[in-house]
Amino acid sequence: MQNRYLSLPYANGAAFNSRLWEHESLCLRDTRVDLLEQIKMWSKDSHGPYIFWLNGIAGTGKSTIARTVANTWYNENRLGASFFFSKGRGDLGHAGKLFTSIAAQLANALPALKPFICKSIEENPDIFQRALGEQWKYLIFRPLSSLTGVLSQARVLILVIDALDECENYNDTSVILRLLAEAKSLNSVRLKVFITSRPEMTIRLGFRDMPRTAHHDFVLHDISQSIVRQDISTLFRYELEYIRRKHDIADGWPGEDTIELLSYRAQGLFIYAATACRFIGDRLWHPVDRLPLILKDDYIGQSHTLALDAMYIGIVTHSMNFGDQNSHDEVRLRSEFRQIVGSIVILFDILPLTMLARLIDIPESTVCGRLRPLYSVLDVPETGKDQSPVRLLHPSFRDFLLDKKRCMHHRIWIDEEKAHGDLFMSCLNIMSKYLHRDMCNLRLPGALISEVENEVIEKYLPLDVQYACRYWVSHLKRSKVKLCDNDQVHSFLQEKFLYWLEALSLIGKISDGVLMVRSLETMLNPKSEANHDLRMMVYDAKRFVLNNISIIEIAPLQIYCSAVLFSPKRSIIRSKFWDQIPCWIKNIPEVQEDWSPSLQTLEGDFGVVNAVAFSPDGQLIAIASRKNTVFLWNSTTGISQNTLEGHSSSVNAVAFLPDGRFLASASDDKTIRLWDPSTGASHCTLEGHSSFVWAVAFSPDGQLLVSGSHDRSVRLWDPSTGASHHALVGHSSGVRAVAFSPVGELLASASDDKTIRLWDLSTGASHFTLEGHSSKVWAVAFSPDGQLLASGSFDCSVRLWDPSTGASLFTIEGEHSCKTVAFSPDGQFLASGLWVNKVTLLAPLTGASLCTLEGHYREISAVAFSSDSQHVVSASWDKTVRVWDPSIGGSRCTLNGHFSVVCAVGFSPDGQLLASGSVDRSVKLWDPSTGASHRSLEGHTSGVCDVAFSPDGELLASASEDTTIRLWDPSTGTSRCTLKGHTSGVCDVAFSPDGALLASASMDTTIRLWDPSTGASHYTLEGHTSGVYGVAFSPDGALLASASKDTTISLWDPSTGISRCTLRGHSDYVVAVAFSPD
For 429-453, the pLDDT digits (tens) are 999 999 999 999 998 999 999 899 9
% of the chain residues with pLDDT over 90? 58
How does DSSP assign 494-538, residue by residue?
HHHHHHHHHHHHHTT-HHHHHHHHHHHHHTS-TT-GGGHHHHHHH
**How many angstroms separate the CA atoms of 496 and 476, rounded?**
17
Q: What pLDDT does 386 receive?
A: 61
DSSP type of residue 824: -
Segment 909-933 mean pLDDT: 82
User: pLDDT per residue over 801-852, tens digit each?
Assistant: 999 999 999 898 888 888 899 999 988 899 998 878 889 998 888 888 888 8
Q: What pLDDT does 268 receive?
A: 86
Q: What pLDDT does 141 receive?
A: 93
Segment 200-216 mean pLDDT: 89
- For 552-561, 621-630, 884-893, which range has the lowest pLDDT when averaged over its residues? 884-893
* 467: number of Cβ within 10 Å: 23
Does the pLDDT of residue 5 top 60, yes or no?
Answer: no
**How many angstroms separate the CA atoms of 493 and 849, rounded?**
37
Segment 571-581 mean pLDDT: 93
Please tell me whether residue 40 adopts helix, strand or coil conformation.
helix
User: pLDDT per residue over 562-574, tens digit each?
Assistant: 999 999 999 999 9
- For 37-41, 570-574, 890-894, which range has the lowest pLDDT when averaged over its residues? 890-894
Confidence of residue 650 (pLDDT cuts 50, 70, 90): very high
C-beta separation of 582 from 561 below 8 A: yes
Segment 235-263 mean pLDDT: 91
**Reduced DSSP (H G I as helix, E B as strand, rest coil) percent helix, strand, coil of the chain, to 5:** 30, 30, 40
**How many angstroms separate the CA atoms of 970 and 909, rounded?**
12
516 Ramachandran zone, left/alpha/beta (phi>0; psi -120 to 50): alpha
Residue type (1 letter), 85 = F
Does the pLDDT of residue 1 top 70, yes or no?
Answer: no
* 1026: number of Cβ within 10 Å: 13
**How many angstroms separate the CA atoms of 852 and 839, rounded?**
6
Confidence of residue 784 (pLDDT cuts 50, 70, 90): very high
Q: Is the peptide bond before 658 cis (omega within 30 degrees of 0)?
A: no
* 1068: number of Cβ within 10 Å: 7
Q: What pLDDT does 892 receive?
A: 46
Q: What pLDDT does 875 receive?
A: 79
Segment 966-976 mean pLDDT: 92
User: pLDDT per residue over 289-328, tens digit each?
Assistant: 888 888 876 655 556 788 888 888 888 888 787 665 567 7
Residue 799: strand pairing partners: 791, 811
Q: What pLDDT does 323 receive?
A: 60
Does the pLDDT of residue 665 top 80, yes or no?
Answer: yes
Q: Report CA dihedral (969, 970, 973, 979) to the nearest 10 degrees.
A: 50
C-beta separation of 92 from 85 below 8 A: yes
Q: What pLDDT does 857 receive?
A: 81
Q: What is the mean pLDDT of the chain?
A: 89
Q: What pLDDT does 383 receive?
A: 58
Q: What pLDDT does 152 receive?
A: 62
User: pLDDT per residue over 350-401, tens digit each?
Assistant: 899 999 999 999 999 999 888 988 888 998 886 556 677 888 888 899 999 9
Q: What pLDDT does 325 receive?
A: 58
Confidence of residue 890 (pLDDT cuts 50, 70, 90): very low
Segment 1018-1043 mean pLDDT: 94
Of 271, 371, 251, residue with least CA distance to 319: 371
Segment 2-24 mean pLDDT: 81
Report pTM: 0.72
C-beta separation of 173 from 203 below 8 A: yes
Segment 741-766 mean pLDDT: 92
Q: Measured between alpha carbons, how far is residue 235 from residues 24, 26, 258, 898 in Å?
A: 14, 11, 13, 91
Q: What pLDDT does 324 receive?
A: 57
- The contacts of residue 661 (CB under 8 Å, 6+ apart) are 676
Sign for the pseudo-dihedral over CA of 943, 945, 947, 948: negative
Of 483, 351, 472, 486, residue with least CA distance to 422: 472
Q: What pLDDT does 22 receive?
A: 87
Report how far apart the first and last C-alpha atoms of the chain are (Å, whole number): 72
C-beta separation of 663 from 706 below 8 A: no
Does the pLDDT of residue 917 top 70, yes or no?
Answer: yes
DSSP type of residue 301: S
Segment 176-198 mean pLDDT: 91
Q: Measured between alpha carbons, how far is residue 100 from residues 110, 130, 173, 430, 553 in Å?
A: 15, 11, 16, 32, 21
- For 652-656, 924-928, 951-955, which range has the lowest pLDDT when averaged over its residues? 924-928
% of the chain residues with pLDDT over 70? 96
- The contacts of residue 67 (CB under 8 Å, 6+ apart) are 16, 21, 24, 25, 26, 84, 162
Of 675, 615, 603, 667, residue with least CA distance to 639: 603
